[in-house]
Amino acid sequence: MPHFSAIAHQVVDLPDFDCPQKTKTIIFDLDETLIHCVDDAETDNPDVVIPIHFSEDPEPVMAGINIRPHIIECLELANKYFQVIIFTASEKEYADPILDYIDPDNKYF
């Protein structure tokens, strides 16, 4: 069994969370779990098209996004019992507009 010091560099600090009755955290992956980004927003008939502004490109990328069915109900229920965190391997510039669309009032994560 490896010693903790061998994996200590992989420890992640979670955001501060001020809700003592929620002692557990649940982490959802954004891509392919909560949403699916379609290949072609014009032909794939996505649920929503969201402009994504990448810092290296002056023109926004129009991202076609399919939202997982019942996502709001899932997040509402999860939020009753857990600190909800969203993970993505994608860039923050991509994730933030999608998360703002899903949760414009920052109620769930």
Alpha helices in the chain (DSSP H): 71-81, 92-102
Which option is the CATH number for 19-102: 3.40.980.10, 3.30.450.40, 3.40.50.1000, 3.40.50.1820? 3.40.50.1000
Q: Choosing from 13, 16, 31, 44, which is the catalytic residue? A: 31
39 catalytic per annotation = no
Q: Which of 2, 28, 45 has its CA nearest to residue 88?
A: 28
Asked whether the beta carbons of 61 and 54 are under 8 A apart, the reply is yes
Average pLDDT, the chain: 88
Query: Against a cut of 0.85, is the pTM above it?
Result: no
31 catalytic per annotation = yes
Categorize the per-residue pLDDT at 5 as very low, low, confident or very high, splitting at 50, 70 and 90.
confident
Give the side-chain half-sphere CA count within 13 A for 42.
1
